[in-house]
Structure 1
Amino acid sequence: MSTGMPAGIWLTKFGVIVSDYFGRVPYHVGSSLDSKQWRDVDVRLILPDDEFAARFGNNRSSDTNPKLAAITLAFAALGQQMTGLPIDFQIQPQSWANEHYPGPRSALIEIRPAEEGCQC
């Protein structure tokens, strides 16, 4: 982790990299959102069910899905390296995530200037 920038800014930068790769915004969730008593920082990428299945199949467990495990571990390691925080990164299908974890979610986004010539 680079010195001089707070971990929260690095967490947002990590989220931007995840979003740039997947085209979907990841979320900071869990106890570290609202408590000083936390053991890790939960970051979740929630994909539409069909997109999750196309990328990883129907097995949503990174314990038994090697493709999901590889990308999960890679992004968790990147997040930990960038932020210096114990990042728990997971990718979940949307319907399952909404059913099991309806709690608050904080989007890890960064406001960027519009591209030159953009008719946004």
Structure 2
Amino acid sequence: MSRTNYLTMQQNALLCDWAARVRQMFRGEMCYQVGSSLTRKDFRDVDVRLIMDDADYDALAHLVNIDRLNLSVSIWGNHVTQLPIDFQVQRMTDANAEFAGMRNALFYLDDPTYDNREGPAA
């Protein structure tokens, strides 16, 4: 049986619960776990990416400093999960060009904010 990631069951539950709150904040955009915590026991941090449509990302970037937003959401995630979260909002084009590895969508099957038949619930 292959592993989805190298988090414990409790850590994964906290991560998915926090990701559901992030998804609510960003109107249903999906969070993905990427990076070394998917493939190695000795991961340094837990990389979480929220990948947005390019136009939506550009509109957000006109309203807020994306680096400060990423830092703020990372600190929130660290506080809630007790994991070393590295959160980043990314443009879809940039994310797809930069990263060709595994992505683990963060959600619960019984999460009321997510309808897995049609994508994030409105």
Query: Which residues of structure 1 form unaligned runs of 5+?
Result: 58-65, 115-119
- Within the candidate set 28, 36, 39, 1:34 is matched to 39
Task: Give the equivalent residue in structure 1 for 2:4.
Answer: none
Give me the whole-angstrom Cα distance separating, in 2, the residues matched to 1:35 and 1:9: 19
SS of residue matched to 2:65: helix
Give the structure-2-normalised TM-score. 0.77
Give me the whole-angstrom Cα distance separating, in 2, the residues matched to 1:52 and 1:77: 21
- Within the candidate set 11, 17, 21, 1:17 is matched to 21
Change (3 A) 1:80 1:50: same
- Within the candidate set 15, 22, 43, 2:48 is matched to 43
Give me the whole-angstrom Cα distance separating, in 2, the residues matched to 1:98 and 1:113: 28
Give me the whole-angstrom Cα distance separating, in 2, the residues matched to 1:36 and 1:96: 28
Computed over aligned residues only, the root mean square deviation of the Cα atoms, in angstroms, reads 1.9
Query: Which residues of structure 2 form unaligned runs of 5+?
Result: 1-8, 114-120
Larger radius of gyration: 1
Task: Give the equivalent residue in structure 2 for 1:92.
Answer: 90
Task: Give the equivalent residue in structure 2 for 1:82.
Answer: 80
**Deviation digits for residues 73-97 of structure 1 (CA, Å, limit 9, x no counterpart):** 1110111011111100011100010
Q: How many residues align?
A: 103
Identity %: 38
Give the structure-1-normalised TM-score. 0.79
Give me the whole-angstrom Cα distance separating, in 2, the residues matched to 1:14 and 1:102: 25
Give me the whole-angstrom Cα distance separating, in 1, the residues matched to 2:13 and 2:72: 20
**Deviation digits for residues 24-73 of structure 1 (CA, Å, limit 9, x no counterpart):** 0110000101210210000001101000001104xxxxxxxx61122211
Give me the whole-angstrom Cα distance separating, in 2, the residues matched to 1:6 and 1:112: 16
